[in-house]
Amino acid sequence: MNRLRRVIGELLARFLTTPVQVEPALPVDITALCRMLRKADVILVEGDLRISSVIKYLTQSTWSHAVLYAGDGECIEADVIQGVRRFKLEELARYHLRICRALDLTDEEAEKVVAHAESRLGVQYDLKHVFDLARYMVPLPLPRAWRRRAIALGSADPSRAICSTLVAESFQAIRYPILPDIETASPDPAVARKAREIYHIHDTGLFTPRDFDLSPFFQVIKPEIPRGFDHHRLVWAD
């Protein structure tokens, strides 16, 4: 039975990792990007796979994948097919990207974050997670409050990796927070509901790529504006 589940999971994984058509991304200067990146930066990716569409729907976010920059032009990710792997930064050149940098991280701490991710190399993606995501290829509406929790169903095996969970665990290994705590004593039901959700995320480790984008503990880094840029000097076609 386990073997059958594994075979079906692998087939689903291959189906979910089939590319779909998305809007073309702006060209990425990999050389400039490599100069700008620091070890332990989190790179958010707007993927172009079927599984990317599911994750973006469930998280209501542009970002479907998170990878950790390991330095020297290399990244670490949890890939659905290959498991936790190291790969070259050049592989991200065709995607929309966003860089999130932990605030005031020392060089020693950055090394520890990367070392934790490296210790997971070879660990397989959580196939239970694949089964759950496959259900949402069916275009049925799902209430907003249930979407993040839908990702968690059946994905409780700590020995198997999920992309943003791998990155989050690497930061938690040095006691660096991903999301802040929120007081639950608010009389506002909406605030109290959000607080319960934040605690649920902390308890389950169910972090998504979107959390790094919204986190107050990570700074969004954009490529440097070209020196001498002056919009008054631009020549418009009309």
* Per-residue model confidence (pLDDT) at position 198: 59
* Per-residue model confidence (pLDDT) at position 22: 57
CATH of domain 2-224: 3.90.1720.10
3-state SS, residue 165 = helix
* Per-residue model confidence (pLDDT) at position 25: 59
Q: In what order do the strands lie in the sheet with 96-102?
A: 83-88, 74-79, 65-71, 42-46, 96-102, 218-221
pLDDT > 70 fraction of the chain, expressed in percent and rounded: 54
- State the average pLDDT for the chain: 75
* Per-residue model confidence (pLDDT) at position 102: 97
- In terms of Cα–Cα distance, which of 180, 173, 200 is closest to 68? 173
* Per-residue model confidence (pLDDT) at position 118: 97
Average pLDDT over residues 205-234: 81
* Per-residue model confidence (pLDDT) at position 4: 56
Instruction: In whole angstroms, give the CA distance from residue 66 to residue 105.
Output: 19
Beta carbons of 149 and 160 less than 8 angstroms apart: no
pLDDT beyond 50 at 80: yes
Domain boundaries, the chain: 2-224
Neighbours of 70 (CB within 10 A): 22
* Per-residue model confidence (pLDDT) at position 1: 60
- In terms of Cα–Cα distance, which of 129, 126, 151 is closest to 56? 151
pLDDT tens digits, one per residue of 21-62 = 655 556 678 888 998 999 999 999 887 665 656 666 666 677
* Per-residue model confidence (pLDDT) at position 64: 83
* Per-residue model confidence (pLDDT) at position 105: 95
The residues, any chain, with a CB within 8 Å of residue 194's CB and separated by 6 or more, are: 182
Average pLDDT over residues 176-194: 71
* Per-residue model confidence (pLDDT) at position 158: 42
Instruction: In whole angstroms, give the CA distance from residue 183 to residue 164.
Output: 25
Sign of CA dihedral 54, 58, 61, 65: negative
Residue 163 or 172, more confident? 172
3-state SS, residue 70 = strand
The residues, any chain, with a CB within 8 Å of residue 15's CB and separated by 6 or more, are: 50, 134
Average pLDDT over residues 144-171: 61
* Per-residue model confidence (pLDDT) at position 165: 83
Task: Report the range out of 56-65, 112-121, 141-150 with the highest average pLDDT.
Answer: 112-121
pLDDT beyond 80 at 122: yes
The residues, any chain, with a CB within 8 Å of residue 25's CB and separated by 6 or more, are: 46, 94, 95, 96, 97
